[in-house]
């Protein structure tokens, strides 16, 4: 057997992989080595992989932040059934993506899938564009996660001191302080980050249970069940069908970020099994937490208009249920801690995806960010670069909070596009010939998943770009479409100036992979 070279220049032979000396593909069921090829410890297990995936989505917590807008679109009925519709769509999207990840697990995630599945002539272009979209989306989504913390803190202060109005620069300072504090666990105990995500998972599930139990237990007058099914509560100005679609789009935001588990694939054993399991279970946990919470809070809601107009709908809902400022503050602070506990996982994810892209670009600047710190054993430079982007991007909040939110909406759509592109490629190129033997094989259902996501992303793109309500005014206009074009233009400019010259793509010997796969049969 002729030896082959991996990207680090290490000699790799088929026999060494089959004999278990090198666990490059993790196709077996044995225990993986403690250090991967890039010097990072394999510190994540199945539970921590689930923790990093679910702690970022935190579907129930994200849904609480969206209650006001969803109520304005269709009232309690849309809040409840919108989450169910969003779950059905997202489970189809994630199953299709999970199958591809099971076939080709890598920290690069979606861009790696595009490279492996695209025709030779277009694989570098598709991989680079999707990779840049993933990096930008994750950096902006992380900014959004931090902004939720600052908004919650400001809302709690206003709850006790209604006369207080925070200046924009106050919010910015809190934003930067929160960013730095949430980076502390990663730098102080990088080898124990799995403990951090376990804690985040525990805090999230416990917080959800506490809010349900205390709200139902303290609510004196509950709405009848028929209230949950009533129509005619929409206040957005859109017709019922459009309003429902917009509500479902908002619910989809709460289940975005499921791909986080993919981006630690090289830091856990058997990623071809554990990553798809964690992704799928995260979506199931999402609906299992969102639905009972939605029903409980809608039954306890006494003033829908107050919730819709509230700066912090989650706090208003809890207060209407409990009628206690102390309990409301306790539960709202717990919710704020849940938001904060999810951010370290977001730093891990955006740092890893940026590092994965950098190691596949042959340029001095990219090689600088592709370095894994010898002492801390994680990509410090790529993570610091992620913080730098977040700190600079958040300056936009000082100028216009509306522009900040529109770019965040665009990033969420960007992230969903990266879920769809690899599935579209494999559908066109032919699943049978493109996919190797894998743990998760959807069979004929895989065709349905891959075919569904293509028209769905078109529908999602259209409705994300619609104004939030009618009539439309300059202040309430939705400029997401313009932002999308701008962001995509930046990605194409990066390809022209950098990618087409320096992006080499993952250095994978496809023939060797097929031989290894046949060796395990």
The pLDDT of residue 372: 93
Beta bridge partners of 4: 12
Q: What is the DSSP letter of 229?
A: G
Which of these ranges, 3-7, 402-406, 468-472, has the smallest mean pLDDT?
3-7
Per-residue pLDDT at 403 exceeds 80: no
In this prediction, residue 35 carries a pLDDT of 53
Alpha-carbon span 108 to 100, nearest angstrom: 13
Q: For the segment 215-268, what is each residue's pLDDT rounded down to a tens digit? A: 999 999 999 999 999 887 888 889 999 999 999 988 888 888 889 999 999 999
Lowest-confidence region among 33-47, 175-189, 203-217 = 33-47
Range of the domain at 163: 47-505
What local confidence, expressed as pLDDT, does residue 477 receive?
A: 80
- The pLDDT score that the predictor gives to residue 11 is 33
Average pLDDT over residues 463-481: 83
What's the mean pLDDT in 491-520? Answer: 72
Q: What is the chain's mean pLDDT, rounded?
A: 87
Q: What is the separation of C-alpha 195 from the centre of its chain, rounded to a whole number of angstroms?
A: 20
- Flag whether 207 is in a domain: yes
**DSSP for residue 35:** B
The pLDDT assigned to 169 comes to: 86
| pLDDT more than 90, % of the chain | 67
User: Any idea which of 33-37, 130-134, 189-193 has the lowest mean pLDDT?
Assistant: 33-37
Binned at pLDDT 50, 70 and 90, residue 99 comes out as very high
Over 70: is that where the pLDDT of 510 sits? no
Residue 515 resides in a domain: no
Indicate whether 18 belongs to any domain.
no
Q: What is the pLDDT of residues 271-316, one digit of tens each?
A: 999 999 999 999 999 999 999 999 999 999 999 999 999 989 999 9
Is the backbone peptide bond immediately before 515 cis, with ω within 30 degrees of 0? no
**What pLDDT score was predicted for residue 38?**
66
Half-sphere exposure of 370 (CA within 13 A, CB side): 17
pLDDT given for residue 12 in this prediction = 35
Task: Give which of 345, 387, 376, 352 is closest to 194, Cα–Cα.
Answer: 345
Look at 162-166, 308-312, 470-474, 497-501 and tell me which has the smallest mean pLDDT: 470-474
Residue 425 has pLDDT above 90, yes or no: yes
Q: How far apart are CA 172 and CA 398, in angstroms?
A: 7
Is the pLDDT at 5 greater than 50? The verdict is no
349: domain CATH number is 1.20.1740.10
Reply yes or no on whether the pLDDT at 476 is more than 90: no
Q: What is the pLDDT of residue 6?
A: 39
pLDDT confidence bin for 67, thresholds 50/70/90:
confident
Predicted pLDDT of residue 516: 36
What's the per-residue H, E or C state across 232-281? CCCCCCCCHHHHHHHHHHHHHHCCCCHHHHHHHHHHCCCHHHHHHHHHHH
Q: Does the pLDDT of residue 153 top 60, yes or no?
A: yes
Residue 34 maps to a domain: no
Question: Does residue 28 have a pLDDT over 70?
Answer: no
Helix axes 46-57, 325-359, angle to 10 degrees: 110
Distance CA(394)–CA(367), nearest Å, equals 27
pLDDT of amino acid 515? 38
pLDDT at 517: 52
Give the total number of structural domains in the chain. Answer: 1
Mean pLDDT of 23-27: 36
pLDDT tens per residue across span 356-388: 999 999 999 999 999 999 999 999 999 999 999
**pLDDT for the residue 283:** 94
pLDDT beyond 60 at 458: yes
Q: What's the pLDDT at 479?
A: 83
Question: Does some domain include residue 521?
Answer: no
Residue found under tokens 């539970």: 47
Has residue 205 been placed in a domain? Answer: yes
Say what the pLDDT of residue 21 is: 36
Encoding tokens for residue 319? 């207060």
pTM score of the predicted model? 0.89
Cα 105 from Cα 101, distance rounded (Å): 5
Query: What pLDDT does 285 receive?
Result: 94
d(CA 274, CA 26): 11
Asked if residue 122 has pLDDT above 50, the reply is yes
Residue 11 in domain: no
* Residue 40 included in any domain: no
């Amino acid at each position: 057997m002729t030896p082959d070279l991996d990207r680090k220049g290490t000699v790799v032979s088929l026999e060494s992989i089959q004999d278990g000396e090198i666990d490059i593909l993790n196709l077996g069921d044995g225990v993986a080595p403690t250090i991967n090829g890039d010097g990072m410890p394999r510190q994540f297990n199945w539970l921590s992989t689930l923790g990093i995936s679910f702690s970022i989505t935190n579907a129930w917590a994200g849904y609480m932040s969206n209650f006001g807008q969803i109520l304005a679109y269709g009232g309690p009925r849309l809040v409840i059934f919108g989450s169910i519709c969003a779950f059905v769509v997202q489970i189809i999207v994630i199953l299709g993506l999970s199958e591809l990840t099971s076939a080709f697990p890598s920290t690069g995630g979606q861009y790696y899938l595009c490279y492996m599945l695209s025709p030779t002539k277009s694989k570098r272009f598709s991989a680079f564009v999707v990779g840049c979209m993933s990096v930008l989306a994750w950096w902006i989504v992380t900014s959004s996660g931090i902004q939720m913390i600052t908004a919650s803190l400001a809302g709690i202060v206003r709850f006790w001191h209604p006369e207080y109005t925070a200046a924009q620069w106050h919010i910015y300072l809190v934003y930067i302080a929160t960013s730095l504090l949430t980076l502390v666990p990663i730098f102080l105990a990088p080898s124990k980050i799995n403990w951090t995500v376990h804690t985040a998972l525990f805090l999230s599930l416990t917080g959800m249970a506490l809010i349900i139990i205390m709200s139902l237990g303290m609510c004196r007058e509950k709405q009848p069940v028929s209230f949950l099914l009533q129509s005619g509560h929409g206040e957005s100005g859109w017709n019922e069908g459009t309003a429902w679609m917009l509500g479902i789009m908002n619910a989809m935001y709460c289940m975005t970020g499921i791909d986080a588990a993919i981006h630690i694939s090289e830091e856990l054993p058997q990623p071809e099994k554990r990553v798809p399991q964690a992704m799928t279970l995260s979506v199931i946990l999402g609906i299992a937490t969102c639905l009972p919470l939605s029903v409980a809070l809608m039954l306890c809601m006494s003033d829908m208009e107050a919730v819709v107009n509230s700066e912090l709908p989650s706090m208003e809902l809890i207060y209407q249920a409990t009628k206690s400022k102390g309990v409301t503050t306790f539960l709202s602070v717990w919710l704020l801690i849940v938001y904060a506990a999810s951010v370290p996982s977001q730093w891990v994810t955006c740092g890893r995806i940026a590092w994965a892209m950098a190691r596949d670009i042959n340029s001095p600047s990219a090689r600088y960010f592709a370095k894994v710190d010898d002492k801390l054993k994680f990509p410090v430079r790529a993570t610091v670069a992620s913080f730098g982007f977040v700190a600079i991007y958040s300056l936009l909040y000082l100028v216009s909070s509306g522009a900040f939110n529109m770019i965040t909406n665009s990033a969420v759509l960007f992230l969903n596009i990266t879920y769809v592109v690899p599935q579209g490629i494999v559908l066109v190129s032919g699943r049978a010939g493109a996919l190797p033997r894998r743990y998760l094989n959807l069979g004929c259902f895989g065709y349905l998943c891959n075919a569904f996501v293509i028209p769905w992303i078109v529908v999602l793109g259209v409705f994300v770009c619609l104004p939030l309500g009618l009539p439309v005014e300059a202040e309430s206009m939705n400029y997401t479409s313009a932002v999308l074009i701008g962001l995509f233009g930046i990605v194409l400019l990066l390809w022209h100036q950098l990618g087409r010259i320096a992006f080499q793509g993952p250095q994978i010997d496809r023939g060797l992979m097929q031989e290894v796969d046949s060796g395990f049969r």
